[in-house]
Structure 1
Amino acid sequence: MVMEAALSPQGSVIVRAEEKVDCGVHAKVQLRGHDLAKMDGLRIFAKSDPYFVLSRANEDGSWTPVHRTDFVEGTVDPVWPLVCLSAQRTCNGDLVRPLKIEVFDHDNNNDDDPMGEVMTSLQDLGESDPSRTWPVMLDGEQKGTLSPLDTPAPEIFNIPTFVDYLHGGLELNVIVGIDFTASNGDPQKPGTLHYVQEGAENQYETALRCLLDILSEYDTDQEYPVYGFGAKPDGGSVQHCFPVGGHAPKKGTQGVLEAYRQCLAEGLQLSGPPLFNPIMEAALAKANSDKENGRNTYTILVVLCDGSFTDIHNCLDTLLAAATSPLSVILIGVGEMRALSSAPGPPPPISPTHNPLSPCLSAGDEDFSEMSKLDGDDGRLKSFTTGELCPRDLVQFVKVRRLGG
């Protein structure tokens, strides 16, 4: 006899949905608290560990959390890190939509205690000045205040999306960076990553061909500046942003491959350390120059590297500076690689949802942990010097492996 247990409700799930508004507006603000409620310890030595949760109002009167800070330990006058809030995520593009800031006291052993709340809006936060204060109310009584810091000043600004650039008829401008550090192995020895032989491609060449064959369909002039890093191109000192195969841009995928082989044939001396930031700064300068001169271009920096680099702190700061520039970075981790073939014929037409930055190479199993830290897929990048969060994901990282079988 089979007994069937009766199913009983174990809880409920509430789903709230609203039409998403395409909006590139952001607000930047850093908040501080003053004379907040003392929640921990005896009266004389009382303290708090405050943090705040920012929530947006829903049509049914409920609230949806959209941002939470870390707690600041042992103070009633906290200064929280700078936050950059997307209007799309925070208020779905409605800058005057009610927002609620709830301040809590962090507790390791018990539930966190409420310290009060503030009613505001994204416009109110982004356009506030240092003299602005918001009373923190708890059970009808004021328990301190919140106010913005004056450095950096609160700001509302717009970050164009990639779709915005596509709608504007932009052209892609592709820049190539190649890792020539000694960790790639002696290019004269078979089996190393830069070993060149007639009739066969090494792993760098296959990666370049696969990626450029796709991006070239959206780069009208198909002229690519190519730079190397981590080597001694003339036998002198190590350089981290030197032209490969001469200063002139290379014509098409074949031109890039020929310049790459020419550079190795001329006796390039592989060295180190692997510094990626100089090439990134050069690409950012190009993107900003085009923007300032009214050129409707979007720069894509493609960097091929066999492993980690040693200037990740500088790279993070440069990426933060590039947040409002028409620039994206594709990092290719070269190791074992499998190239994906593409269908013959002309490229498909560009649609608003198409993203030519999608990788054309499949993921592999190599360890590129430092490189993957620059990819914002698992969380927004943060500056090591200021703690500021990057408002958009600029980097696509993919590991590649050789086609087997």
Structure 2
Amino acid sequence: MALILILSVSPFRWRTIVSSKTLSRPLQLKKGKPAGKGTITITAEEIKDNRAIVLEMEAKNLDKKVVKNNLNPTWKKFTVPLQTFCCSDLERPLKVDCSDYDSDGSHDLIGSFITKVSELQKTAHGSPVQFDCIHPEKQKKKKSYKNSGVVSVKSCKMEAQYSFLDYVMGGCQINFTVGIDFTGSNGDPRSPNSLHYMSPDGLNQYLSALWSVGQVVQDYDTDKLFPAFGFGAKLPPDYQAAHHEFALNFNPTSPYCQGIQGIIEAYRSVLPQLRLSGPTNFSPIISHVGSIAASSMQSNTASQYFVLLILTDGEITDFDQTRDAIVRASRLPMSIIIVGVGPADFKAMELLDGDDGVLRSTVGETVARDIVQFVPYRQFKDAPQTALAQSVLAEVPNQLVSYFKMRGLEPPKPKAAPTS
């Protein structure tokens, strides 16, 4: 019998494990139902070697088996953590197999060779390192056999590879901003059919989504002061034009709320004073947070990163302007999370999420990196609160690392504790 362990832990939950070093929990078949007497123990161990090996390889005159009829393939550059590649031992023997790939898994061996990282590093002197690709069966059968092709290592470099935790534990601050949709399509907040209607327990979909995501993100912001904005509503006292970026606490010079609870209190206080209107414009709030993120780049350090959470009920009115704002933001230390509440069709949101293709601006400029994550709340309405948080925050750690890697910025060095 094979025992398979699938361990799924949100990067935003690793802090709990890292701080306690060892964490034990009883095994459960379902929530609240223990699976016998078994327990699972997770131990956190610091990996001190954060080096990765970056390789560029090609081959010539391979046997006639190669995909796409190319006997002289050039493979894409790839990166592997050094600990995974050779247990950080530069003299450790490595066997390299070159095979003809078959989609059904029956790959055909072309040939093999033995090397070690210290040999691969000889490419640093300017010329490729070459290896005869040997098929053992052919070598036995033919005395005149030389090889089944030659594999060349064009480039072998070492580079530091940092993780999300490296940046956060080094002191990188995650600045959390919230934008809430108050457009008329949400329905009159006094009606039970409205998405802004408060149930007897004082909650609605907006607050439930905010609480699920915010209680996790807030642990990474030391001052717990979060800017919170609304959009798509007419404001007192004149209730004239709709506002597309107003402070939830009605204080434009200091839109900060103390923790997630502070945002919830501001929301409950402002909701009865608003007149829901429209249209649904995202670009103003994205550009606002983007301007703050851009100003943080002046320090040229990996000390600040910005996460914008947008809670909305429907389609975007300013789709083209929003595309342009996202493309600009992709070059900034910033991620955008969009949670769709209610039963609406969110096709436009899925287009903004770059998982299924490359987002382009109205003039054809592509995003520098994927920074948008969209999740419909209805998929998690009856799930534990942590499920929504894990889903919407799943991509943020890699987005943060990809930005600082793009800028060539290492994690901040933790400050030494003051001495008496």
Q: TM-score, normalised by structure 1?
A: 0.52
Q: CA deviation at 1:213?
A: 4.2
The residue identity in structure 2 corresponding to 1:363 is A
Counterpart of 1:250 (choices 256, 260, 266) is 256
Which residue of 2 is the match for residue 55 of structure 1?
none
- Residue-by-residue CA offset, 1:31-67 (whole Å, 9 max, x unaligned): 332222223xxxxxxxx22xxxxxxxxxxxxxxxxxx
**1:309 correspondence with 2:333:** no
Is the 8 Å Cα contact of residues 36 and 145 (structure 1) preserved in structure 2?
yes
The residue identity in structure 2 corresponding to 1:145 is V
Which residue of 2 is the match for residue 43 of structure 1?
none
Q: CA deviation at 1:311?
A: 2.1
The residue identity in structure 2 corresponding to 1:206 is S
Which residue of 2 is the match for residue 137 of structure 1?
133
Is the 8 Å Cα contact of residues 133 and 145 (structure 1) preserved in structure 2?
no
Q: Which residues in structure 2 correspond to 1:157-172 (within 5 Å)? A: 157-165=159-167, 167-168=169-170, 170=171, 172=173
The residue identity in structure 2 corresponding to 1:257 is I
Which residue of 2 is the match for residue 203 of structure 1?
205
Counterpart of 1:86 (choices 76, 81, 90) is 81
**1:363 correspondence with 2:387:** yes
Q: Which residues in structure 2 correspond to 1:145-164 (within 5 Å)? A: 145-147=150-152, 155-164=157-166
Number of matched residues?
A: 294
- Residue-by-residue CA offset, 1:289-314 (whole Å, 9 max, x unaligned): 3872464x565555351165312335
The residue identity in structure 1 corresponding to 2:163 is T
- Rounded to whole Å, the distance in 1 between the matches of 2:179 and 2:211 is 13
**1:24 correspondence with 2:50:** yes
Does the C-alpha gap of structure 1 residues 374 and 185 become closer, same or farther in structure 2, counting only changes over 3 Å? same
Does the C-alpha gap of structure 1 residues 375 and 165 become closer, same or farther in structure 2, counting only changes over 3 Å? closer
The residue identity in structure 1 corresponding to 2:174 is N
- Residue-by-residue CA offset, 1:85-106 (whole Å, 9 max, x unaligned): 1223323333553333211123
| Greater displacement, 188-197 / 202-211 | 188-197
- Rounded to whole Å, the distance in 2 between the matches of 1:126 and 1:238 is 59
Which residue of 2 is the match for residue 175 of structure 1?
176
Counterpart of 1:38 (choices 64, 71, 75) is 64
**1:223 correspondence with 2:225:** yes
Q: CA deviation at 1:186?
A: 3.6
Q: Give secondary structure in 2 for the equivalent of 1:204.
A: helix
Counterpart of 2:381 (choices 337, 342, 367) is 337
Q: CA deviation at 1:114?
A: 1.6
Q: CA deviation at 1:203?
A: 1.7
Is the 8 Å Cα contact of residues 204 and 304 (structure 1) preserved in structure 2?
no
- Residue-by-residue CA offset, 1:133-154 (whole Å, 9 max, x unaligned): 42242146233333456xxx76
Is the 8 Å Cα contact of residues 130 and 153 (structure 2) preserved in structure 1?
no
- Rounded to whole Å, the distance in 1 between the matches of 2:157 and 2:99 is 26
The residue identity in structure 2 corresponding to 1:292 is N
- Rounded to whole Å, the distance in 1 between the matches of 2:216 and 2:392 is 25
Is the 8 Å Cα contact of residues 244 and 263 (structure 1) preserved in structure 2?
no
Q: CA deviation at 1:249?
A: 4.7
Q: Give secondary structure in 1 for the equivalent of 2:207.
A: helix
Q: CA deviation at 1:187?
A: 5.7
The residue identity in structure 2 corresponding to 1:176 is T
Structure 1 unaligned runs (5+)? Answer: 1-9, 12-18, 40-47, 50-72, 323-328, 341-360, 365-370, 382-405
| Greater displacement, 312-321 / 29-38 | 312-321
- Residue-by-residue CA offset, 1:102-127 (whole Å, 9 max, x unaligned): 11123468943221224444576688
- Rounded to whole Å, the distance in 2 between the matches of 1:243 and 1:192 is 21
Is the 8 Å Cα contact of residues 204 and 334 (structure 1) preserved in structure 2?
no
Q: Give secondary structure in 2 for the equivalent of 1:363.
A: helix
- Residue-by-residue CA offset, 1:319-346 (whole Å, 9 max, x unaligned): 9588xxxxxx987642353697xxxxxx
Task: Provide the identity percentage.
Answer: 20
Q: Which residues in structure 2 correspond to 1:114-125 (within 5 Å)? A: 114-121=109-116
Does the C-alpha gap of structure 1 residues 179 and 218 become closer, same or farther in structure 2, counting only changes over 3 Å? closer
- Rounded to whole Å, the distance in 1 between the matches of 2:230 and 2:119 is 47
Q: CA deviation at 1:175?
A: 1.4
Q: TM-score, normalised by structure 2?
A: 0.50
- Residue-by-residue CA offset, 1:182-208 (whole Å, 9 max, x unaligned): 797446553343446897222221332
Is the 8 Å Cα contact of residues 181 and 271 (structure 1) preserved in structure 2?
no
Does the C-alpha gap of structure 1 residues 201 and 123 become closer, same or farther in structure 2, counting only changes over 3 Å? farther
For the aligned residue pairs, the C-alpha RMSD in angstroms reads 5.4
- Rounded to whole Å, the distance in 1 between the matches of 2:392 and 2:72 is 33
Is the 8 Å Cα contact of residues 118 and 134 (structure 1) preserved in structure 2?
no
Q: Give secondary structure in 2 for the equivalent of 1:135.
A: strand
